[in-house]
Structure 1
Amino acid sequence: MRVAPKPVQSFRDDFTYSNSDEAIERFPFPFVEDEYRYSVNIESHTPKGGTDSIYEHFIDIDEHYLSEMAERAIVLEENPRRCLSMGHMALAGWDFLERMMVSLSTDYPQYFSLRRDKDQWHWENTLLDIQQDFVFGDESTLPMSPLDYMGRQVQGDFALLDQRDNDLFMDAGMITCPADWSLAFDAGMSFSEWHGPVPMAHSAGIFDRALKYLTAIPIGSPARRLNWTLTVNARMDTSPEKYPDWGHERTTVTAENVAQKVYLRVELQIMDRMPRSNALLFVIRTYLISLEDIATNPEWAKRMHRAMKTLPQPLIDYKGLTRYHHLVVDYLAQFDR
């Protein structure tokens, strides 16, 4: 049975974040082979894995909901520009609001409800004690823009990609828990431009194939993939804007604390075509798990050791693991004998 959202834990300062046994069991472990290789690895976003799988519903709401919403509020208070939308993306914002409200109220009726009478809508979020009457399409009837309003109520980050000239452009989004990238910097960039720093994948033609696939996604056929990196401490906001807060933490990892301080950070990325605007919604749903928690599953620990041991140096550097990668490999080696 799905675990209900638990009281707020922190992703900063004292780092009280923790995973229950159930959260560990349902964690999206990303390594399917002993050697990690870049691949498009996109599949249809359809239910898989039974009840309480992270793939059970379009958007996964789990025990960390209240914690992530509290963290999002802090980030947006510090920097409101973590939510941006260019003028031509207004309709995409309403697409996003509708997609989220319909999905959440359908999949989690114990927490969310939506009533619609033509353009007169009523939304209720019992987890955050929100009730809102508004006119769909009329921003003046909401306390903020549709993207900003609904983005504060859903786990994950969100980019709305405008499609034109057979390319995708990052023209709107709410990004408060990025893995070392910035919406403010990438806003307006094309697909190839914001993926420019990624090593090895360009020469293999991976991004060309991915772009061709993504621009062909039709309405009603969302797709998904997993992406991963490592991070130090259970910190959601590892943005360039906050680098002074977290960059030095990479130097604090030791052989004695690596199991507790290093986290596998996995993104469930969902791509969904919006019906009115034709924008592509790009959901980045982030999960964190410590090496100590991974070690409770010896098969995961063994597989991760092999993937980390064979990771090419350009990927080690790109993912920011250079200072402590060897400590991760050494710790996991005990599970691969």
Structure 2
Amino acid sequence: MTDLRAFPFPFDVDTYRYSTNLEPARTAHRTAAGGWGEHVVEPGTDYRDALAERARILARDPRRAVSLPHMAPAGWDALETVLIELHRSVPDETTLDLDGGRVRFSNRLSGNSIDVARGDPSVDPLVLAAGETPDDLVLLDTRGGELFADAGVVTYASGWSMNFALGASFEDIHGPVPRVRDEGVVARARAFLLGLGAGATVRRTNWSLGVDHRLDASLETRGEWARARRELETASADDVGRRLCLRVEVQHLTRLAPSGAILFLVRTHHASLDELAAVPGWAERVVAVTAELPRDMADYKGLTALRPAIDRWWRSRRRAVLG
């Protein structure tokens, strides 16, 4: 069950268009149900489940963790940054010592401990980091005024694959997204990130629709989640409300030092339509946003075929409420 008190509901109005929507990190957002955003890494009530699911995915498909050789120093920067942020978030549950060229960390929430020399070539620091945070991790390197996705551990992608994207430019990664090039969104975001100072952290949200609170919606498992989405196109209103979810990503970007790479963290949250309906105004707004979304954006987000199902659920719920 979703903890709605910490759910990052992404809509302030009844319409949505692409934008950079970047803002300073570590500032709390108040919502109708509670709030979120005080920390960069927020374990949440599903923390152990998310870590366990990632471990299962990596054991089944190690290719979800990839890195180009030159990214090793940035990987160690990323590990230390993730552990620092997690320790800030839950200081009573973790201990951290980065002195003496070693990384020493213990985590009562995960049951894990780390004691490794920084730079140990037998260790993948990004995989270590992925074992402590529910976020997916991507490292963006800067070359020739462009950003490249040169390393990552991504088990919870939404319609993409880190293995396929390895080495791709920021421009190419966003190529399939409608409107963002023509409207200058990609260019503005790239310029902003290239100017991000060492240690600076910003965040944004992104959203789509998911089914059954499924975290792994990657290209590698498309056959599974695409079939589930098709089932909902003709499912009963009750099944739609129970299974169809608003999927929200909280994305943090941090300029690492000393490597200079950008760490991209993606934390994925789900709330079903039925769950959202428990908070006044949330279900109505999701229905309004998905109904108004232009066709090209709806097609890209995979919700065009689901619009009748959402409408069917909403009409059924309204009838039940009004008697």
TM-score, normalised via structure 1 length: 0.88
**1:30 paired residue among 3, 7, 10:** 10
The whole-number CA distance in structure 2 between the counterparts of 1:34 and 1:324 is: 18
User: After superposition, what is the alpha-carbon deviation per residue over 1:193-243, rounded to whole angstroms, capped at 9, x for unaligned?
Assistant: 011111122211111111111111111221111100001211111111111
The whole-number CA distance in structure 2 between the counterparts of 1:89 and 1:312 is: 39
The amino acid that maps onto 2:19 is S
The whole-number CA distance in structure 2 between the counterparts of 1:133 and 1:232 is: 38
Structure 2 residues not aligned, in runs of 5+: none
1:308/1:329 contact within 8 Å kept: no
1:232/1:261 contact within 8 Å kept: yes
The whole-number CA distance in structure 2 between the counterparts of 1:90 and 1:59 is: 22
Q: CA deviation at 1:91?
A: 0.4
The whole-number CA distance in structure 2 between the counterparts of 1:36 and 1:322 is: 15
1:163 counterpart residue number: 142
**1:100 paired residue among 74, 77, 82:** 82
The whole-number CA distance in structure 1 between the counterparts of 2:246 and 2:254 is: 26
2:197 counterpart residue number: 218
User: After superposition, what is the alpha-carbon deviation per residue over 1:167-198, rounded to whole angstroms, capped at 9, x for unaligned?
Assistant: 11000000000101001111111011011111
**1:48 paired residue among 20, 28, 36:** 28
2:42/2:86 contact within 8 Å kept: no
In structure 2, the CA distance between the partners of 1:182 and 1:120, relative to structure 1 (3 Å rule), is: closer
**1:39 paired residue among 5, 9, 19:** 19
The whole-number CA distance in structure 1 between the counterparts of 2:150 and 2:102 is: 28
1:316 counterpart residue number: 298
Q: CA deviation at 1:47?
A: 2.4
In structure 2, the CA distance between the partners of 1:168 and 1:294, relative to structure 1 (3 Å rule), is: same
Q: How does 1:262-273 map to 2 (within 5 A)?
A: 262-273=244-255
Identity %: 36
Confirm whether residue 86 of structure 1 aligns to residue 65 of structure 2. no
1:304/1:332 contact within 8 Å kept: no
The whole-number CA distance in structure 2 between the counterparts of 1:322 and 1:312 is: 10
The whole-number CA distance in structure 2 between the counterparts of 1:34 and 1:321 is: 16
Q: How does 1:1-337 map to 2 (within 5 A)?
A: 18-19=1-2, 23-49=3-29, 53-140=35-122, 144-253=123-232, 254=235, 255-332=237-314
2:249/2:267 contact within 8 Å kept: yes
Deviating 4+ runs (over 4 angstroms): 333-337
Q: CA deviation at 1:252?
A: 1.4
SS class of match (1:285): strand
The whole-number CA distance in structure 1 between the counterparts of 2:6 and 2:103 is: 34
The amino acid that maps onto 1:286 is T
Q: Greater shift after overlay, 155-164 or 294-303?
A: 294-303
User: After superposition, what is the alpha-carbon deviation per residue over 1:275-328, rounded to whole angstroms, capped at 9, x for unaligned?
Assistant: 111001111111010000000013112222221110111111111123222211
SS class of match (1:257): helix
User: After superposition, what is the alpha-carbon deviation per residue over 1:62-110, rounded to whole angstroms, capped at 9, x for unaligned?
Assistant: 0000000110011101110101110010001000011011222232122
The amino acid that maps onto 2:241 is A
Higher helix share: 2
1:273/1:280 contact within 8 Å kept: yes
1:113/1:124 contact within 8 Å kept: yes
The whole-number CA distance in structure 1 between the counterparts of 2:311 and 2:255 is: 40
Q: CA deviation at 1:132?
A: 2.8
The whole-number CA distance in structure 1 between the counterparts of 2:211 and 2:202 is: 29
TM-score, normalised via structure 2 length: 0.92
The whole-number CA distance in structure 2 between the counterparts of 1:28 and 1:132 is: 31
2:25/2:203 contact within 8 Å kept: yes
Q: CA deviation at 1:330?
A: 3.9
The whole-number CA distance in structure 1 between the counterparts of 2:49 and 2:40 is: 20
The whole-number CA distance in structure 2 between the counterparts of 1:107 and 1:238 is: 27
1:13 counterpart residue number: none
Q: Greater shift after overlay, 302-311 or 92-101?
A: 302-311
Q: CA deviation at 1:158?
A: 0.7
1:139/1:146 contact within 8 Å kept: no
1:272/1:281 contact within 8 Å kept: yes
1:12 counterpart residue number: none
